Chain A
Amino acid sequence: MSCRIVEEISVVPVIAPVAQTAAGNTTGAYLACPPKLGTIDFVVRSGALAAGKKLTVEVYQAKDTSGTDAAELTAYETVFTAPEGGATDNSVIVSVDNADVTLGYVTVKVTNDAASAVPLDAFALIRKEYLE
């Protein structure tokens, strides 16, 4: 590959870095998902999680950026459980096929069951030529 990755792939913010409240959830910004998009890789990054605590990532689709008629794409639900001893740096990647996003817009909702606030953020990796 001769070109840089950031020349091909866009890093699109979905959830700004934030300290998510204990046992809280955050729904990210809805991104347009045009027919030729192919794949969107949602990456959820989190800081420290105690052993056995979970980070649940759900994918939602909607008709517009406001989340009208939002519906979960249940097949993409992903649960990360911190191993014994805890985990200090976690990444959950969910690859969404645009063919499944029939309403046109897609995002992720992240939920934790930790006993204290969890610093986290989420972004999407999308091929630049398919961005509107």
Chain B
Amino acid sequence: MIRFNLSPFNFGKYIKSWEYVDDIEPIKDLDVGAKAIIAPEYLGPDVSIRGGYIPCPPEFGSIDFVIRHGEPNQDITLLARVYQARNVDGLGAEEIRKYRTEYKAVSGQPEGTFFILLQNVDVTKGFVTVEVENTEGGEVLIDCFALMRKFYIY
């Protein structure tokens, strides 16, 4: 592989030198963290849990919500909704309808994971969260968190 060293003048437009590189060091730091939304807890039939609101300014780009579940005691259907609000207390909360996601799991399935890939430009009020509802009978343990660039986690 060839590595090009750019000249610092003219904003790096010119190649100052080049060299063969035998190997590339793996990227050590993942630069991604997990921010808690809903703590691991049981979700019974017709019960919904709305997580804590997190700030979501436009410069974040994207937030990937991850919902994990354990083994349900019978077939279940989880309905996940994304809500936006004006502050961490949920002032003026309203659903961002396009992100509503339905997920089904069957009895005996040891665990599962599904995602909601949010575009921050859709969050016009500044704060966002996820609500998960068990719309079909049974009970299941769920967990929800957001994957974000570490730089933005605070």
Contacts and interface: CB of A to CB of B under 8 A. Distances in A.
Contacts of B110: 16
A24 interface: no
B135 interface: no
Contact of A5 (B36, B69, B149): B149
Q: Which label, helix, strand, loop or mixed, suits the secondary structure of the B interface?
A: strand
Interface residues of B, number: 35
A38 B28 CA distance: 5
Contact of B40 (A8, A41, A121): A121
Contacts, number: 107
Contacts of B40: 17, 45-47, 119-121
What interface size band does chain A fall in?
35 or more
B70 interface: yes
A1 B149 contact: yes
Interface of B: 26-30, 32-34, 36, 38-42, 52, 61-62, 64, 66, 68-71, 110-111, 113, 115, 117, 141-143, 145, 147-149
